[in-house]
Structure 1
Amino acid sequence: MGTESMGLRESKKQETRQLISDHATRLFIEQGFEQTTIAEIATAARVAKKTVTNYFARKEDMALDHHEEFTATLARAVAGRAAGESALAVLRREFAAAVERCDPVAGFAGPEFARMIADSPTLTTRLRELHDRREEALAEALAAAAPGDSPAIAPRAAAALLGAAHRLLFRRIQELTLAGEPNERIAATVAPEATYTFDLLEAGLEAGFGADSEGSADA
């Protein structure tokens, strides 16, 4: 009974968090991020102002409420890759799958959401921070599996290159979204561009961060 009560309580918390995020994002789109107050969000969600700040320490995280998933995606893919699969190979494959399903985490968030971010200096800055955090998490995952004879800077160098590629492709999706292209056409455009981008990285990264000769995964 106690476990069930805890589960219901946690479910209610998640519902409240999502409710606040949904109303906040709607107001941000309608009024602009900087112009929308915490009090307005609380009123729209029918909760106390303190409830809003309890669930969201930062106003921008009400709009970018999947930030934890975003920052973890690359590191999680690398940490969970199959034996013998390189970091580049798994990230290339994962990105292709994200494009195919038009995943919002990859940038397919729709024109209104993309415009909301583009029009807000605060959200634009926060998104850059999230890209940086994602790259840092990737570097940690690469370092955990790096060969012992690799230079100390190798995981960070590889993460910087892979992170830059994902950052570029994310911006490309946003650019096409803001230009009014539908998701299907964006996916058709970005898929070959992603192949080209990852191909540029392949020679350098496979040399130091590929699969080893015995088939076990390194970085």
Structure 2
Amino acid sequence: MGLREMKKRQTRQNISDQATRLFLRHGFDRVTIADVAAAAQVAKMTVTNYFPRKEDLALDLHEEFTGLLARTVAERAPGESALAALRRAFLDAAARHDPVIGFSGPDFARMITESPALVARLRELHEERENALAAVLAAETAAHPDDPLPRLAAAQLAAVHRVLFQEALRRTLDNEPDEEIAAALAKSARMAFDMLSPALSGYAVRPASQ
């Protein structure tokens, strides 16, 4: 990484950190872009250059979030189906308490759920994630543009992740320890993926020759 790129990443991280601190202290809806810029000691334009939407200052893992399912399927092992890859990846993420699947701490979870703007943005991110997954499934299965199967499969697989994310938030707000949340999510995930298995266990299996 070059010095310029490193400095850009440091600036972005500083803005994100200062914004999160302010949001947690005062609430998302009460903090302005100007407040964040002042705390980060940068211009307002610098903040909006890195984060065009205020909501993405709070949900700063949005790019990783929206691309996670598609990337997991694209990188699945030979002989592995899309369902199996997503199941494996989710259980791994739960075991390591990954923030991308909802491990955020009570204060952060409360900040999200108490802000209509963040709840709406999170809904959009779930939809973007589903669309990205559908696109990868269509490409991986060489589906015809009119074939609804990739979109139907993506809708079901993304719905599992959406419900599990909501469960993680709910349990976090109830102040359950991360270990208990992880165990509960793993149990729910196994049940959900087992429900989809009869229909999707043989779908989008990567050929062994790849």
TM category, shorter: over 0.9
Quick check: 2:37–2:47 contact (8 Å CA) kept in 1?
Answer: yes
Runs of 4+ in 1 over 4 A off after TM superposition: 147-151, 214-217
TM-score (norm 1): 0.91
Instruction: Tell me what 2:52 maps to.
Output: 57
Quick check: 2:84–2:201 contact (8 Å CA) kept in 1?
Answer: no
**SS across alignment from 1:47:** coil
Q: Which amino acid aligns with 1:165?
A: V
Aligned equivalents of 1:75, 1:54: Cα separation in 2: 26
Q: CA deviation at 1:147?
A: 5.6
Once the two structures are superposed, residues 33-92 of structure 1 have per-residue CA deviations (whole angstroms, 9 ceiling, x without a partner) of: 111011111111111222212221111111111111111110011011112110000000
Quick check: 2:140–2:204 contact (8 Å CA) kept in 1?
Answer: no
Q: CA deviation at 1:205?
A: 1.1
Closer/same/farther in 2, CA of residues 46 and 216 from structure 1, 3 Å limit:
same
Once the two structures are superposed, residues 129-164 of structure 1 have per-residue CA deviations (whole angstroms, 9 ceiling, x without a partner) of: 011000000001100111658970000000000000
Q: Sequence identity of aligned pairs in percent?
A: 57
Aligned equivalents of 2:118, 2:101: Cα separation in 1: 16
**SS across alignment from 1:166:** helix
Aligned equivalents of 1:205, 1:21: Cα separation in 2: 39
Larger radius of gyration: 1
Q: CA deviation at 1:210?
A: 5.1
Q: CA deviation at 1:211?
A: 3.1
Closer/same/farther in 2, CA of residues 203 and 25 from structure 1, 3 Å limit:
same
Closer/same/farther in 2, CA of residues 119 and 130 from structure 1, 3 Å limit:
same
2:106 is the alignment partner of 1:111: yes
Closer/same/farther in 2, CA of residues 64 and 150 from structure 1, 3 Å limit:
closer
Question: 1:17 aligned to 12, 17, 26, which one?
Answer: 12
Instruction: Tell me what 1:90 maps to.
Output: 85
For structure 2, the 5+ residue unaligned runs are none
Q: Which amino acid aligns with 1:191?
A: A
For structure 1, the 5+ residue unaligned runs are none
Closer/same/farther in 2, CA of residues 170 and 40 from structure 1, 3 Å limit:
same
Q: Which amino acid aligns with 1:40?
A: D
Aligned equivalents of 1:103, 1:59: Cα separation in 2: 23
Question: 1:40 aligned to 35, 55, 78, which one?
Answer: 35
Q: Which amino acid aligns with 2:205?
A: A
Q: Which amino acid aligns with 2:20?
A: T
Instruction: Tell me what 2:205 maps to.
Output: 211
2:44 is the alignment partner of 1:71: no
Q: CA deviation at 1:186?
A: 0.5
Instruction: Tell me what 2:173 maps to.
Output: 178
Aligned equivalents of 2:107, 2:43: Cα separation in 1: 27
Closer/same/farther in 2, CA of residues 13 and 143 from structure 1, 3 Å limit:
same
Instruction: Tell me what 1:127 maps to.
Output: 122
What is the RMSD computed on CA atoms of the aligned residues?
A: 1.8
Instruction: Tell me what 1:100 maps to.
Output: 95
TM-score (norm 2): 0.94
**SS across alignment from 2:176:** coil
Q: Number of aligned pairs?
A: 210
